[in-house]
Structure 1
Amino acid sequence: MTDLTDPAVRVAGARELAPDLLVIPNARVDLVPNIGIVGGTEAVLVVDTGLGTANAAEVLAFAVEVAKGRRLYLTTTHFHPEHAYGAQVFAGEATYLVNRAQADDLATKGAGYLEMFRGLGEVVARRLEGVRVPVPDVVHDGVHELDLGGRTVLLRPTGRGHTAGDQVVEVPDAGVLFTGDLAETGQFAILPWFPPHDTDVTGIGWLAVLDRLALGAPRVVVPGHGEVGGVSVLTDVRDYLRELRDETWRRRDSGLGVAEIAAEVRDLLVGRHPEWAGREWIEPGVGCLCAEHDA
């Protein structure tokens, strides 16, 4: 049985979504992302690393096995530790590419998030022993077209949403989209609203990003955490964020304070989605949307 307290990546669970395109699923383990392996005739791209060097070493070994001598690239969907803080393991083995805003997030917030995550408990702290804040090899502006040989992958910055530096990874020939934490299934959306330290998350911007991504009608959507699915993975998160916005703003318009709104909205949304995990993220979402309402 998987130890749900240990954020361990299990490469043995990898499954194929399309020819030469695999996902290592997170299997509903906290702080384990869905990880992508995307191949072309000349190179293989890894999408996200898992938390810490031991997880990243497992992912790298698996990618090397899949690549069979092809060149390796690494990208990360955003700067949060379970997605990016194993990148140092890939040094000398893969070229690490990120968008400009994500590189800025790593440089300005990376150390703070590393310390915050080390405070989440002993097992997480052990996973982060010896971890350094990632430093990319290549920083790109705008959409980056990565030619893997017979397959072009698009590394597409989305603008502010879950973070300032969110990036989706599109595989057009397969109709596959890796979203990072812009989409998650089976849980309340994570709005990392931590004033005054980090207030880059934007519920309004996130909604606009999801509207644009849904218009692309991807065949397969790989969320940051949770089950792989179709375009409904995007629209379900979008619909929840609309709920959160509308219920928050309706109460803010009536003059209620943030704490009172948070309590009412939490009770309402838990009642509507009793099976979802991550209830603790409703209150930060209310705080974020109250700030956006008042701006």
Structure 2
Amino acid sequence: MALSPSALRPLADDLYLWKPPQRGWGLANCGLLAASDEALWIDTPYDRPLAEAFLAESQRILGGRGIARIVVTHANGDHLWGAEVVPGAEVIATREARHHLELEPSPEQLRRMIESAGEGSPVGSYLAEHFGHFDWSGTRVVEPGTVFEGELELTVGGHPVLLTSLPPAHTTGDLLVHLPDHGTVFTGDVVFGSTPEEPGDHPVHWAGPLENVIGACERVLETGAETIVPGHGPVLDIAGLRSHIDHLAELRERAHALHGRGVPAVEAARIIAGEGLGPELGLVERLVVTVGTEYRHLDGTEPGPLAEVLPEMIAFAAEQRGR
């Protein structure tokens, strides 16, 4: 079932948010900076239909102006794969994000994974439920043509756009997008937004450790920005970001304590879920990934392929749903 497109929401002068129609896997926030003489996208939707909807909304604001540049906060497909609908745009990311593309499943590989699992199996049913509405037929992944390390400053219609690369956190190639004229930071997936009025989903982090994720959030606070656009979920204010940092710190503390007691990672995720950490958040099975990532850093082991963690995460989802 196709997802309904969203309208652009103004955040400040010349700055707009494209927010997906619902929460869940693969539904990322995107930004449009529409200055008088040029435009910039911040991230792109996961598939062509959603990217074309974002493009149509952008063109409604831009009139005849084109989108010259796209900043990608990290190389997960739900932030990059929509770039193909703006051919010729300069795609900007960190150097590590381009390296991360070698680890990311291609659209065709992901589509085959869903089809080969079969909807009768737990893995196939989960993938179909959460990813079956995306259309990756013919998707062409556009590799970033401009990469950097450290910091990069752009100017868009007289507005500064400050890009800062981060140590490994959500992925190995994350960056922050700070728009000082607008008092706004787009964080990518180092932040997953949630508020009492609009609960989000559990954060999921593939690279870690959580210390780096928390450090990235603290760098957002240091900018002085009062509007924080997370990779997924509702826009946050400073208090909302501090609450998210507290959540991550508590998750880190519990994971370390359980690791110290010799509790296996999946059992630790089960205990943390049972303790009610973030009970309002969706996709509780993501704890399996994030706790597993933290354990990996504590143990000094290398990450395994995605196919290894999927069955554990999906079994955990079914177990928690049964409760």
Q: Identify if the C-alpha distance between structure 1 residues 126 and 18 changes in structure 2 by more than 3 Å, giving closer, same or farther.
A: closer
Letter in 1 for 2:82: G
Select 1:190's aligned residue among 189, 204, 208: 204
Residue 196 of structure 1: aligned partner:
none
Select 1:149's aligned residue among 130, 150, 157: 157
Root-mean-square deviation (Å): 2.2
Select 2:171's aligned residue among 128, 142, 163: 163
Whole-Å Cα distance in 2 between the matches of residues 29 and 127 of structure 1?
Answer: 17
Select 1:21's aligned residue among 15, 29, 49: 15
Q: State the percentage of identical aligned residues.
A: 27
Residue 181 of structure 2: aligned partner:
173
Whole-Å Cα distance in 2 between the matches of residues 126 and 256 of structure 1?
Answer: 37
**CA offsets per residue over residues 228-282 of structure 1, 9 Å max, x none?**
12123432222111111111111222233333323212211xx242211120111
Residue 37 of structure 1: aligned partner:
32
- The count of residues paired between Structure 1 and Structure 2 equals 278
Compute the displacement of 1:202 (Å): 2.4
SS of 2:132's equivalent? helix
Indicate conservation of the 8 Å contact 1:207/1:238, yes or no.
yes
Compute the displacement of 1:61 (Å): 2.8
Residue 224 of structure 1: aligned partner:
231
Residue 146 of structure 2: aligned partner:
138
Compute the displacement of 1:151 (Å): 0.6
Compute the displacement of 1:174 (Å): 0.9
Select 1:65's aligned residue among 40, 60, 63: 60
Indicate conservation of the 8 Å contact 1:74/1:95, yes or no.
yes
Whole-Å Cα distance in 2 between the matches of residues 101 and 263 of structure 1?
Answer: 32
Whole-Å Cα distance in 2 between the matches of residues 274 and 139 of structure 1?
Answer: 39
Letter in 2 for 1:88: E
SS of 1:110's equivalent? coil
> Structure 1: where are the runs of 5+ without partners?
193-199
SS of 1:251's equivalent? helix
Whole-Å Cα distance in 2 between the matches of residues 272 and 103 of structure 1?
Answer: 34
Whole-Å Cα distance in 1 between the matches of residues 38 and 164 of structure 2?
Answer: 19
SS of 2:181's equivalent? coil
Whole-Å Cα distance in 2 between the matches of residues 213 and 115 of structure 1?
Answer: 35
Whole-Å Cα distance in 1 between the matches of residues 291 and 154 of structure 2?
Answer: 38
Q: Any runs of at least 4 consecutive aligned residues in structure 1 with deviations exceeding 6 A, and if so which?
A: none
Select 2:292's aligned residue among 266, 287, 290: 287
Residue 127 of structure 1: aligned partner:
135
Letter in 1 for 2:47: G
Whole-Å Cα distance in 2 between the matches of residues 159 and 231 of structure 1?
Answer: 22
Indicate conservation of the 8 Å contact 2:154/2:161, yes or no.
yes
Letter in 2 for 1:81: G
Residue 47 of structure 1: aligned partner:
42
> Structure 2: where are the runs of 5+ without partners?
115-126, 194-199, 301-323
Compute the displacement of 1:76 (Å): 1.5
Select 1:88's aligned residue among 84, 90, 100: 84
**CA offsets per residue over residues 140-188 of structure 1, 9 Å max, x none?**
3332211112211112212211001111211101101111111112221
Structure 2 length-normalised TM: 0.79
Residue 237 (structure 1) aligned with residue 244 (structure 2): yes
Whole-Å Cα distance in 1 between the matches of residues 233 and 21 of structure 2?
Answer: 7
